[in-house]
Structure 1
């Protein structure tokens, strides 16, 4: 059971908003302890998370509060698969702008996409096709190195602005980083945005962090998980060594989630219970909800509260 502050943190709301939704709309009906204080179970936290995501996408809370959880899930699914006119041609248009060094056009289109699209649609139908097209155009000579660097720097700047747009009132509970020798981070940033969209307080540490340093930060913040990306095949042996060090140094029960081209190989080679490869970005949201309602996640939420 979670008190008000912890339930608000887990669902991405402020305590004031949570109380207002209860009082005005009966969005959830909390339980009470023997002193009359509100308590919320895991199902209530899940419902609040759904409501938060839908209100972020323009649905009024007054229209959502009376709906069953299944109806809320249906609305979320419809928003993921909506047409979003023009989104399929957006990556090509953005790269055409970069080819002419029209940085303002690229940045404007990217900003509008970030502001208007659900995160799953933004990553799967804009960012990932954009990165694939960058690779194709670079390989066949239609994109210069400077233009490729422009795309990377603009994406990085906008993604980090999303992750850092709110004051850090909540203790970070999910770390994102790459290991030494891994400078590529756009996939990692995309995963961090998924986690942010799922309501997890994220600390993005960037690239090339030694395993021991990661373990120290994780211990200091009592995080619920560490998320890493590894994409360079040439770095796989070094990544295996660093992951073994991380496993030794990390507190028991803290999972390590691996993404990137090397993820499946690394997870299978290590065969460690805490290390899991994620090939589907959407699975990250499910893992976050599972860890948040685990005994360790509950303890961390109480400490943060």
Structure 2
């Protein structure tokens, strides 16, 4: 089969790159920043690589770089500039998780909520996840395990995170794709890892429905059936609840439709998966594994 490269006229290319057609023409004529091909009638055409380059140039000029300094640079050099800008812009984020936890430790709830809200509003989701939320969750787990964080403080972090992040996780009202349900089973009240996993899955492009904590297996199966869920992601952390989780998972395995997979995360996940020996239930290390499992299924739908 002959492969035909996609080509776009100048108006479409400008829209895709976030530019006006006048700016695109000026960058081409005055600075030689881009070299389109032309069709038999002399009209400019742009391939996806050219549009990606235009998008890089647009982002850098928006940050104050003059186009005359950027025009002669290759794409690798433009990417280095963008990366340097990201590091400079988000350098102060590295200390934010510990500052947030210090605020919670002193019950400075307003300070925690303010700093978290600013981070959610201003940081791109990958930066928020990788440099704020996930380090925060790891540190909460460590402090809770060694006694530096009381149960009430851990629940406070969970509550504030939940309140601020559920708006991100909730799908649009008209979302029609089959969703992945995120929940914990009865007796498992720790949801910080679950929230983090749901955010990672959301960022990976999965339609997520966050159900929360301590749901019986029969209820999860009922929701999955009613909504035609694409899968169920569960977190099990508390070792004292492992046996309860095992029985609930057996009920869930029996109640779910045959084509609905179940992913387990958390400290108990590997033990539970090995005990169950179910073809549909498997332990995963992070939500990226859920995304990798889900995408082939979606592609066959």
TM bracket (short chain): 0.5 to 0.7
Look up the match of 1:248: 254
1:270 to 259, 276, 283: 276
Q: 1:160 is matched with which residue? A: 166
Partner in structure 2 of residue 193 of structure 1: 199
- 2:207 aligned with 1:219, yes or no? no
SS in 2 for 1:253: coil
Q: Distance in 2 between matches of 1:121 and 1:278?
A: 22
Q: Tell me how far apart the structure 2 counterparts of residues 267 and 227 of structure 1 sit (CA, whole Å).
A: 13
Q: How does 1:1-305 map to 2 (within 5 A)?
A: 24-25=12-13, 83=87, 84-137=90-143, 143=149, 145-164=151-170, 167-171=172-176, 173-294=179-300, 298=301
After superposition, the Cα gap between the structure-2 partners of 1:262 and 1:293, relative to the gap in structure 1 and judged at 3 Å, is same
Scaled by the length of structure 1, the TM-score of the pair is 0.65
Shift of 1:122: 2.7
On the 8 A contact 2:185/2:245 being kept in 1, the answer is yes
Question: Distance between the aligned counterparts of 2:236 and 2:193, measured in 1?
Answer: 9
Larger radius of gyration: 2
The number of residue pairs the alignment matches comes to 230
State how far apart, in whole Å, the 2-side matches of 1:128 and 1:156 are.
14
CA contact (8 A) 1:175 1:223 kept: yes
Structure 1 residues not aligned, in runs of 5+: 1-22, 28-46, 61-70, 299-305
**Cα shift at 1:239:** 1.2
Query: Residue deviations 1:120-154, cap 9 Å, x none?
Result: 44334322322343355556665555443322221
**Gaps in structure 2 of 5+ consecutive residues:** 1-10, 17-47, 61-74
Partner of 1:231, secondary structure, is coil
For 1:282, what is the secondary structure of its paired residue?
helix
Superposition RMSD in Å: 3.2
> Relative CO higher for 1 or 2, CA cutoff 8 Å, sep ≥ 6?
1
TM-score between the two structures when normalised by the length of structure 2: 0.66
Q: Offset of 1:258 from its aligned partner?
A: 0.8
Describe the shift of the 1:169–1:251 C-alpha distance in structure 2 as closer, same or farther (beyond 3 A). same
2:291 and 2:153 map into 1 onto residues whose CA distance is: 33
- Structure 1 residues 139, 259: CA separation in 2 closer, same or farther (over 3 Å shift)? closer
Farther off after superposition, 226-235 or 171-180: 171-180
